[in-house]
Copies of this chain bind each other. A is one copy, B any other.
Amino acid sequence: MGTVSHVITGAVPVTDGLRSKVEAAIRELNYHPNHVARSLKTSKTRTLGIVVPDMTIPFFPQVISGAEAAARERGYVVIAVNSGDDGERQKELLSLLRSQRVEGILLVVASAPTPQTQISRILEAGIPIVCCDRVPERLRVDSVSVENREAGRLGFQHLLDAGYRRIAVATGPLALRNERQRLLGCREAADEAGIGLEPDLIWEGNLRVEDVTALCRDHLARPGRPEAILSTNGPTALGVLRAFRAHGLSTPRDMGFATFDELTVDEIFLPSITTIVQPSYEIGFRAAELLLERIEGGSAAAEPMMVRLPAVLKIRESSRPPDVLAASLKQ
């Protein structure tokens, strides 16, 4: 009966009497409209896909939550999947999402370089993509991320201002543009301060806490320890802190420290940790909004939007100026 459809979609007026009769029947029969059939007919699934490398890294659930909120406002659902930061798996998932007929995709690319065609083919098929957080190189695609270079500079400058001079940067894989940009910001700040950034103060790791721990233990065992360390992401921060622990070092007593990304416990950590906070929720929110605009506005055209949000520096104890520290120790 077409009338039922009219009642449900509300697109065509129906008499009150009939409507309430239909509604009663719906409750009675415990009826749930079949979105599958509807989608087949309308070719609208009102579903967005989001692919993230690893949902157990706290940054990503926040992005997802933001995207979910924006999607919900417009009646869309988000389906979240993990690529495990693996290029092959990512390819499968994108294909899967296409098959599921999601109307748009939020993508945090895997660390392994994503072939351009993988993304551009989807775009050509008319499915909009917005890249979040990690923006692939040399590809005209909408993106939302933090202002990475500025954020790197902000963090490094803060350590400089606190009085540290020999500052190491513990970074994630430099295959990621994000990480390179952050490092670039650090370098700029270092150059401006006239101290430069020596190669042996750039500690490049991956995103596995264990590996980073080992890496930093090595570095810390060598002569010429830095006075402070800036970590450019959350997992790396955990690695650095574990390495501190392994060496019996504590921050800021023995070494200054600051990091990108909240560790969920920064405030209670003793001493609390200075953090460059990315607006993760908002990245997801804005990205989904942009995606929905592309979907509903049908504006696949135009220039790609490149939204860049500022990071915020939360100064806590781990970056306390070393001289202040020394003074307070003397007391």
Contacts and interface: CB of A to CB of B under 8 A. Distances in A.
Interface of A: 30, 32-37, 39-40, 45, 55-56, 58, 60-62, 64-65, 68, 77-82, 95-96, 98-101, 121, 124-125, 238, 241-242, 244-245, 250, 263-265, 267-270
Nearest to A121: B30
A137 to B, nearest CB: 23
Contacts of A35: 99-101
Nearest to A62: B56
A65 B52 CA distance: 12
A47 B100 CA distance: 10
B250 A238 contact: no
Contacts of A242: 267-268
Given A56-B61, A269-B269, A98 B36 contact: no
A33 B99 contact: yes
Among all A-B residue pairs, the 3 with the closest Cβ atoms:
A241-B268, A79-B79, A55-B61
20 contacts: A30-B121, A30-B125, A32-B95, A32-B99, A32-B125, A35-B99, A36-B39, A37-B40, A55-B55, A55-B65, A56-B62, A80-B80, A241-B268, A245-B267, A245-B270, A250-B270, A263-B264, A264-B264, A265-B265, A269-B269
A17 to B, nearest CB: 25
A55 B64 contact: yes
A83 B74 CA distance: 17
Contact of A68 (B40, B61, B78, B82): B82
Given A55-B55, A238-B264, A241-B265, 16 more contacts: A30-B125, A32-B125, A33-B99, A35-B99, A36-B100, A36-B101, A37-B40, A56-B61, A58-B264, A68-B81, A68-B82, A79-B79, A238-B268, A245-B268, A269-B269, A270-B270
Contacts of A95: 32
Nearest to A45: B36
B55 A82 contact: no
Which of A96, A99, A244, A264 has its CB near the most chain B CB atoms (within 10 A)?
A264
A270 B101 CA distance: 49
